């Protein structure tokens, strides 16, 4: 869709269509309580901000805004695989193609709802046929809902999905993640070694890349620097991933600033590793994440 084609989805005072970075079309959403920015490329939410607060989401200043490449930050949609895959790009193809905007509506509670559809792509041709829809609801919180359906007759569809959320923090040394004590996890930094979380508060002082299995529905990020508490509430997702690349990994990422690890943390929700989802023909899975913040 061109920017002119997308203009029919505008809602005066609520949804505007603009040319974003790299000439890619983006949507700017305004509500009484917040604002958001969404690119059609990857149906990628790159910003969400409550009135009077810093941005909830982190997007790298070095990110590439270019067809065929993922945006670094915000909320990438990870599907149909998570992590590396032989002969393929990391984290699947959903974040690398332009999704179709189907609908924008004002909600009764002075918010905005947007609906996107995966268009089908060359990369998905080798997979059983499926449909993918993504609902974004902007109010005083950000609600994201990924709906995947197996449309292949007589064939199962096995997939991983994840909403790979990057959060803005004031200083990573003043940040702790709560709600995962006692949960088993795979430590990717330690060769995927299975471990159990023993800490009430997870703090970052080196590279962290952990897949928490059978994780609780709610995780909490406490940021004493910004005086903010972020709630990550999920349904339809059994895993929670916590990631910060730290110094060496940041320097290896061409689309990530060398010092940006100090101002972000990822707390991701989905179904990965042992929690892969297998859908029978006609079956659907719904991954929903609610992101909200309060003062500490």
Domain ranges of the chain: 3-295
Q: Are the beta carbons of 8 and 23 closer than 8 angstroms?
A: no
Q: What is the pLDDT of residue 89?
A: 79
pLDDT in tens, 233-292: 999 999 999 999 999 999 999 999 999 999 999 999 999 999 999 999 999 999 999 999
Q: How far apart are CA 225 and CA 281, in angstroms?
A: 49
Residue in 44, 164, 197, 260 annotated catalytic: 164
Q: What is the pLDDT of residue 60?
A: 98
CA of 56: how far to CAs of 95, 169, 214, 236, in Å?
A: 20, 8, 26, 23
268 is catalytic: yes
Q: What is the pLDDT of residue 283?
A: 98
Whether the bond into 80 is cis, omega within 30 of 0: yes
Q: What is the pLDDT of residue 90?
A: 87
Q: What is the pLDDT of residue 70?
A: 95
- pTM attached to this predicted model: 0.96
Q: What is the pLDDT of residue 68?
A: 86
Domain 3-295: CATH architecture, name and number where available: Distorted Sandwich (2.70)
Q: What is the pLDDT of residue 260?
A: 98
Residue in 91, 160, 268, 275 annotated catalytic: 268
Query: What are the residue ranges in the chain where pLDDT is below 70?
Result: none
Q: How far apart are CA 244 and CA 263, in angstroms?
A: 10
164 is catalytic: yes
């Amino acid at each position: 869709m061109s920017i002119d084609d997308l203009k029919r989805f505008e809602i005066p005072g609520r949804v505007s269509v603009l040319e974003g970075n790299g000439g890619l079309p983006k949507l700017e959403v305004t509500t009484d309580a917040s604002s958001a920015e969404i690119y059609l490329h990857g149906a990628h939410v790159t910003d969400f901000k409550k009135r009077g607060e810093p941005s909830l989401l982190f997007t790298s200043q070095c990110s590439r805004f270019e067809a065929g490449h993922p945006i670094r930050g915000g909320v990438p949609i990870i599907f149909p695989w998570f992590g590396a895959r032989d002969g393929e790009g990391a984290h699947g193809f959903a974040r690398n193609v332009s999704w179709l905007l189907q609908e924008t509506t004002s909600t009764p509670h002075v918010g905005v709802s947007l609906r996107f559809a995966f268009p089908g792509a060359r990369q998905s041709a080798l997979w059983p046929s499926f449909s993918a829809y993504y609902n974004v609801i902007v109010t005083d919180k950000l609600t994201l809902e990924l709906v995947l359906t197996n449309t292949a007759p007589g064939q199962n569809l096995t997939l991983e999905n994840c909403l790979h959320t990057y959060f803005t923090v004031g200083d990573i040394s003043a940040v702790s993640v709560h709600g995962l004590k006692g949960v088993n996890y795979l430590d990717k930094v330690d060769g995927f070694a299975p471990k159990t979380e023993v800490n009430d508060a997870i703090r970052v002082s080196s590279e962290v890349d952990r897949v928490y299995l059978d994780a609780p529905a709610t995780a909490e990020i406490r940021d004493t620097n910004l005086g903010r508490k972020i709630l990550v509430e999920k349904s339809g997702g059994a895993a929670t991933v916590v990631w910060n690349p730290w110094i060496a990994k940041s320097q290896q990422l061409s689309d990530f600033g060398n010092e940006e690890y100090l101002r972000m943390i990822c707390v991701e929700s989905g179904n990965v590793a042992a929690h892969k989802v297998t859908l029978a023909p006609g079956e659907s899975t719904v991954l929903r994440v609610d992101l909200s913040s309060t003062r500490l």
